[in-house]
Structure 1
Amino acid sequence: MDRTSPSPQPPASSGSTDLLRASRPAMGSYFEMRLGAQTPGGIELAERALNIIDALESQLTVYRDDSEVSRLNANAHLGPIEVEAGLFRLLERAVAIGTATGGAYDITAGALSEAWGFFRGPKRVPDAETLADARARTGQHHLRLDPEHRTVEFDLPGVVINLGSIGKGYAIDRASQLVTQHWWPTSALIHGGRSSLYALGSPPGVFGGRWGVVVRNPFAPESPLGTLRLRNRGMGTSGASFQNFAHDGRVYGHILDPRTGEPALGPASVTVLAPSAAEADALSTAFYLLGTEATAAFVSDHPEIGAIFIEEGPSDRSPRVVTFGVADDEFSYDA
C-alpha cells in the first residue's frame, strides 16, 4: 500500500518539546511512538512497545522463512497447524472483514502478489496460465480455521497468506494495548510509516483534546488538504502510487483485486477511521477496491467506520475529496 498521505503532527496547543518520540525501523517501514515527555517510565514504556512490534514482525512477515506465517504457508496444506492465540484471532478478524466486504479484502492474495512480482520481484505482467494458477490458489474459502483447537489448514497446496495489509495496524494496536496497561495513565500516538496509526487518549496537556493528523494531497504531497483530529481511533491509508510499474504504456499498481487477480484502478488514496488500526488498515484496502458507492453502503451499515476518498480533481492542488461517516469534529479542510 502507498502509505504516505496522512502525517501525524503535535497538537497546536502542545509543542513538540512536550513529547517523547521513539522510533525504530520495522515491517519495511518505520514505527514511531509519541507520548508525554513527563510520563513516568516513558522511555522504558516506548522501548517495550517497539519491542512488541519487532516480535510481531518476526511472527507475521512472509520475507523470513522461519516466521510463523511462512511456516503456515509451507505446511498448512498437509494438515491442521496450531498457531499462537493472537495470530489466530487476527486471522479470524481478517476473514470476517473479507466476508463483510464481499471478498474485496482477502489475506490469501499472496499468490497473486507473487505472480505479478510485487513479492520479491521482478515486477511483471503474468501470462494467462500463471495468473490462472495464482487465482486458483486465492480465496479465503481455502482456509479452515478451527477455533476449538486454534488450528489453521489449507484445502490445497500453494495458498499464500500475506498479512501486509493488516499487520502494521495489528502491531500498532498491540503496542497501544501495552500503553493502556502502564501503571501511570498515559496517552500516546503510535504510527507506522505515518499511514497506519492509533491515537490513544488526548495529547499531553490537552484534557479532552485530540491528536492532530495532517492529511496530505497525494497529487502535491507538500500541500496539506486538511486535518484529522483523533482520540481513541485507528487510521489507515491505501493508494497505489508508491508501488507500481509500467508495461506497454500502462501503469500497474500493487493493490490487486482478489476477485479478479488484476491490479485495481482506484482513487489516489483512501483513508479509513475505525475503532482499531488493524481494522482501518484492512478496510482502506477493501474500500480502494470497492469504490465510493459500495463504501457508502458499508459505512451506512457500520457507523463506527469513516472513510475519506481523494480523487483526481480540476488540478493537482484541487483534488476531489469525498467523505463517508466522518464527523465534522474529526476532519476539517485547510483553507
Structure 2
Amino acid sequence: MAPLTSPRRRSLALGALACVLLPRAVHARDAGSSPVQRSTAVLMGTQVDIVAVQADAALRARALDAAWAEMLRLSEMMSRYRSASQVSLLAQAAGGAPLPVAPELMAVLQQAQDLARRSGGRFDATVGAYADWHFEPGQPARLPDAATLARQHVLVGAHGLQLDVPRGTARLARPGMRLDLGGIAKLPILQAGLRTLAQHGVHDALINGGGDVLCSGSLQGRPWRIGLRDPRAPQRLLGVLALRGGVVAASGDYERGFDHAGRRYHHILDPRNGQPSEGLRGLALVSADVEAVNGWGAAMMVAGADRSRRWLREQLPGVEAMLAGPDGVWLTAGLQARLMASA
C-alpha cells in the first residue's frame, strides 16, 4: 500500500481530516489495464475522488460518467454560489411566495430542520445570512464587525425556513435570509454518486469528498483502508480504519480559514452569534449510514466536546467518533478498538 503521508498522496488530500489509502497501481492512466480506476474532479469547492472497481472498462466508464453527472446536477442545485441554483432562488425570493423545490433538495432541507431541532440550534441552515465572512482560498481575509453580525443575526433561525412537503415548496420568511447547506448537503450528494455507480454495475467503490468518505464493497477482496488525520497536526495520522461499506464524515477548523490575533477563524459558524466555532479542532464520525451522521459534524463543532459526547450517547446509537480539542483526542470505545496503526 502507498503510504498516506507520501508527498503525492498528501497533496491530494490537502485540508482533509479523513483520506484514502490507495494501492500504488491506481492511476487514471491505468484504467484500460486494471479493474481499479481512480477519477478526480473539483466539485462543491473541494477535490472529489472516486475509486471504482469493475473489470469491464466500458461499463466502468459509463458508471463514472453517470456518477459525476448526478453529483454535478445536485451540487449545482444546492449551491449558494450559483445565482440560478434553487438555493439561490429561495434567497432571492425570501419574504415572498413559496417556491417549488426538487425532491432531493426537499429531503436535505427536511434533514436540516430536524437537525436544528435535535441540536438545539447548534446547526441551522439559515446561517447563510452571515454573508460577510471570507474563508475561500485566494480571497482576502475579512472580519465582520459586531454591528454587522448583529444585523444579520435577526435573519438566522430555523423557524424562518418554511417547508410544505406535500406541495413540494419551500420559503424563507424574511427578506435577506439565505441558506448555507455546506454542512448537510455534501454527504447526500456523495451518496447519490455512490448509488449511481451501483445502478450502473459498479458495486465496489469509494468516494472521498474533501475528507468525507463513503464506500461500498471492497477493493479487490480487501477492505477499504481510510486514514484518520489528527486535526491538530494534519500531516500526522491517528490511525487507519478498514471498512467494507459505510461513511466517515469529517469536520475541522483548518480546511478553510485563517489566523488573526491569536485566534483561528474558520468556515463553521455558530448560528447563535455568527462567529466561528471554538473548542473542538476537528472530528470524525463513522457509521454504516449517511443519514445517521449527516450534519452532526457541524453541530458538534459548534457545541463542543462535552455536549457532543452526550449526543453520541443519547441520540446517535451505533455512531463511532473521534473528537479532537486543544487538550487531546477522545475516541469512542468502538472506534478505539477498530483503529489500526498506520504503519
Q: TM-score range by the shorter chain?
A: 0.7 to 0.9
Q: CA deviation at 1:34?
A: 0.8
* Alignment correspondent of 1:263: 276
Runs of 4 or more, structure 1, over 6 Å off, are none
* Alignment match of 2:297 (pick from 284, 292, 303): 284
CA contact (8 A) 2:136 2:257 kept: no
Alpha-carbon distance in structure 2 between the residues aligned to 1:160 and 1:327: 37
Query: In structure 2, do the counterparts of structure 1 residues 15 and 303 end up closer, same or farther at CA, with 3 Å as the change threshold?
Result: farther
Q: CA deviation at 1:296?
A: 1.6
Q: CA deviation at 1:73?
A: 1.0
Alpha-carbon distance in structure 2 between the residues aligned to 1:294 and 1:144: 28
Alpha-carbon distance in structure 1 between the residues aligned to 2:159 and 2:90: 16
- 1:76-102 CA distance string (max 9 Å, x none): 420111101111011101111221111
Where 1:125 maps in the other structure, the secondary structure is coil
Alpha-carbon distance in structure 2 between the residues aligned to 1:29 and 1:304: 29
Unpaired runs of 5+ residues, structure 2, are: 1-13, 27-33
Query: In structure 2, do the counterparts of structure 1 residues 261 and 221 end up closer, same or farther at CA, with 3 Å as the change threshold?
Result: closer
Query: In structure 2, do the counterparts of structure 1 residues 119 and 9 end up closer, same or farther at CA, with 3 Å as the change threshold?
Result: closer
Alpha-carbon distance in structure 1 between the residues aligned to 2:51 and 2:297: 24
Q: CA deviation at 1:158?
A: 0.9
Query: In structure 2, do the counterparts of structure 1 residues 274 and 96 end up closer, same or farther at CA, with 3 Å as the change threshold?
Result: farther
- 1:167-223 CA distance string (max 9 Å, x none): 2212101111112323x4622111112x112111222223xxx31101123343333
- After TM superposition, list the pairs within 5 Å mapping 1:1-335 onto structure 2: 3-10=15-22, 16=26, 19-39=36-56, 41-112=59-130, 114-118=131-135, 122-182=140-200, 184=201, 186-193=203-210, 195-206=211-222, 210-277=223-290, 280-301=293-314, 302-312=316-326, 320-324=328-332, 326-327=334-335, 330-334=338-342
- TM-score of the superposed pair, with normalisation by structure 1: 0.87
Q: Which amino acid in the other structure matches residue 55 of structure 2? A: Q
Unpaired runs of 5+ residues, structure 1, are: 314-319
Alpha-carbon distance in structure 2 between the residues aligned to 1:198 and 1:78: 38
Q: Which amino acid in the other structure matches residue 129 of structure 1? A: A
Alpha-carbon distance in structure 1 between the residues aligned to 2:106 and 2:176: 20
Q: CA deviation at 1:334?
A: 4.3
- 1:306-335 CA distance string (max 9 Å, x none): 21112335xxxxxx3211364456423447
Alpha-carbon distance in structure 1 between the residues aligned to 2:136 and 2:180: 10
CA contact (8 A) 1:169 1:280 kept: no
Q: CA deviation at 1:294?
A: 1.3
Q: CA deviation at 1:276?
A: 4.0
Q: CA deviation at 1:42?
A: 1.0
Alpha-carbon distance in structure 1 between the residues aligned to 2:309 and 2:238: 21
Deviates more, 1:295-304 or 1:100-109: 295-304
CA contact (8 A) 1:237 1:271 kept: yes
CA contact (8 A) 2:287 2:319 kept: yes
Alpha-carbon distance in structure 1 between the residues aligned to 2:218 and 2:173: 46
Q: CA deviation at 1:147?
A: 0.9
Percent of pairs with identical residues = 28
Number of aligned residue pairs: give it.
320
Alpha-carbon distance in structure 1 between the residues aligned to 2:112 and 2:56: 34
Alpha-carbon distance in structure 1 between the residues aligned to 2:278 and 2:212: 22
Q: Which amino acid in the other structure matches residue 303 of structure 1? A: P
Where 1:238 maps in the other structure, the secondary structure is strand
Alpha-carbon distance in structure 2 between the residues aligned to 1:260 and 1:325: 34
Query: In structure 2, do the counterparts of structure 1 residues 327 and 65 end up closer, same or farther at CA, with 3 Å as the change threshold?
Result: same
